[in-house]
A = this chain, B = another copy of it.
């Protein structure tokens, strides 16, 4: 199985799939191709949320603002999973979320047919080759060699001081929910909290408040989420990815 994640929109992912299907009959599963463009951190967050639910797979990840520069192309192996991606840290949080040691390999991209579409010309063939060889045999794949390490990227942690958590918005999902890095446990015993000064109820899910009303919930990722029942929490709370969020009990 090969999963595909990018910020390519359409139809560039289809070119990657063609390249892969020339080399393997693997099942292909799209994670997303409409991630925020060139936003390595958002992609890192979503991969971390999604990949742990998958059986062993090769994960092709191309959010690659540095394409055509000297950034490396890497394969990162953790247990039965392998990530094939630009070396910009995008896969590191997901790799940490899996069990196992991390092995890093570098892909030789010196012969890439283009300098703007390594998804098609470097990463797709590498993902197919890793899949065909087997994740346990990456060492045997031509053009892929062991590397010392890869770029790290850590999603920021919230800090807690007494009854206030200082965090930030990591991403806004397609519903408009603002997902923060404040751990859900922080609000577990609160009936309501102040978010950047304004009070909102803490509820188990959206429909526990009226349609159009604001709430704070602990969503499926385990973090504090700023939401509106059948509306866009990010708009109602006035926040965007990267904005700081103080949650006061």
Contact = CB atoms under 8 A, between A and B. Distances in A.
| Range for the number of chain A residues in contact with chain B | 35 or more
Contacts of A55: 18, 21-22
Interface in A190-227: 204-208, 217-220, 225
Contacts of A53: 15, 18-19, 22, 120
B205 A67 contact: yes
A204 B67 CA distance: 10
A29 B38 contact: no
Contacts of A229: 65
A157 to B, nearest CB: 21
B173 A68 contact: no
Nearest to A16: B53
Interface in A1-57: 1, 3, 5, 8-12, 14-15, 17-19, 21-22, 27-35, 37-38, 46, 49-55
Given A1-B21, A55-B22, A220-B117, A11 B207 contact: no
| Secondary structure of the A contact surface, majority rule | loop
Given A38-B230, A65-B230, A50 B114 contact: no
B37 A69 contact: no
A83 to B, nearest CB: 15
So how many copies of this chain end up in the complex? 3
A121 interface: yes
A219 B117 contact: yes
Contacts of A140: none
B1 A14 contact: no
B37 A11 contact: no
Across the A-B interface, the 5 shortest Cβ-Cβ residue pairs: A68-B205, A9-B174, A18-B53, A117-B220, A11-B32
7 contacts: A5-B11, A9-B174, A11-B50, A12-B174, A114-B219, A116-B220, A117-B220
Interface of A: 1, 3, 5, 8-12, 14-15, 17-19, 21-22, 27-35, 37-38, 46, 49-55, 65-69, 113-117, 120-121, 173-175, 204-208, 217-220, 225, 229-230
